[in-house]
C-alpha cells in the first residue's frame, strides 16, 4: 500500500524528467491511496502548466485522460471528522496552508497516525 500526494502523481500524467521514476514507484505498490480532492489538485496543476506554456493543449488533454485512468485505480481517503480535526492543527503548528493540511491529515488517517515505515509519495527529484 502507498499514499500519493498530487505532486507525486502529476509526473504520472505528464512527460517530464520525474515521470520514469514516478512510474517505477507506481508499479511497485498494488494498492494506492490518495486524498479525495487529489484529482482536483492535479487538474489545477495541469491547467497551470498549460498557462505557463510548459505543456501544450494537446498534452494537457492527454494528461487529463491519464488522470481519469489513474482515478479508476486508486482508493480515496474521504473527508471525515478525524481528517478535519488533524488538519485544523497544522496551520498553527507547522505553517501549512489549508490544502496541504488536509492532504497531510488524510495521509495520517490512512496510516492510522503512525507514518513510520509507510510509503508516502510526494514530488520526487530526478
Domains of the chain listed by start with CATH number: 2-121 (3.40.50.1010)
Given a contact cutoff of 8 angstroms between Cβ atoms, the answer to whether 7 and 123 are in contact is yes
Mean pLDDT of the chain: 91
Total-model pTM: 0.85
Q: How confident is the model at residue 105 (pLDDT cuts 50, 70, 90)?
A: very high
Task: Report pLDDT for 53.
Answer: 97
Task: Report pLDDT for 124.
Answer: 45
Rg (CA), the chain: 15
- How large is the average pLDDT for residues 69-82? 96
What angle, 0 to 180 degrees and rounded to 10, lies between the N-to-C axes of helices 57-73 and 38-51?
170
- In terms of Cα–Cα distance, which of 34, 40, 29 is closest to 109? 34
- In terms of Cα–Cα distance, which of 15, 93, 40 is closest to 105? 93
Task: Report pLDDT for 122.
Answer: 59
Q: How confident is the model at residue 33 (pLDDT cuts 50, 70, 90)?
A: very high
Amino acid at each position: 500500500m502507498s499514499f500519493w500526494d498530487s505532486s507525486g502523481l502529476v509526473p504520472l500524467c505528464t512527460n517530464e524528467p520525474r515521470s520514469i521514476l514516478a512510474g517505477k514507484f507506481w508499479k511497485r505498490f498494488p494498492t494506492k491511496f490518495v486524498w479525495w480532492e487529489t484529482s482536483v489538485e492535479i487538474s489545477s496543476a495541469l491547467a497551470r502548466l498549460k498557462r505557463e506554456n510548459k505543456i501544450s493543449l494537446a498534452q494537457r488533454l492527454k494528461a487529463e485522460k491519464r488522470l481519469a485512468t489513474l482515478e479508476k485505480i486508486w482508493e480515496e481517503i474521504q473527508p471525515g471528522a478525524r481528517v478535519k480535526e488533524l488538519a485544523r492543527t497544522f496551520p498553527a503548528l507547522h505553517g501549512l496552508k489549508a490544502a496541504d493540511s488536509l492532504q497531510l491529515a488524510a495521509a495520517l488517517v490512512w496510516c492510522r497516525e503512525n507514518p513510520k515505515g509507510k510509503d508516502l509519495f510526494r514530488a520526487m527529484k530526478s
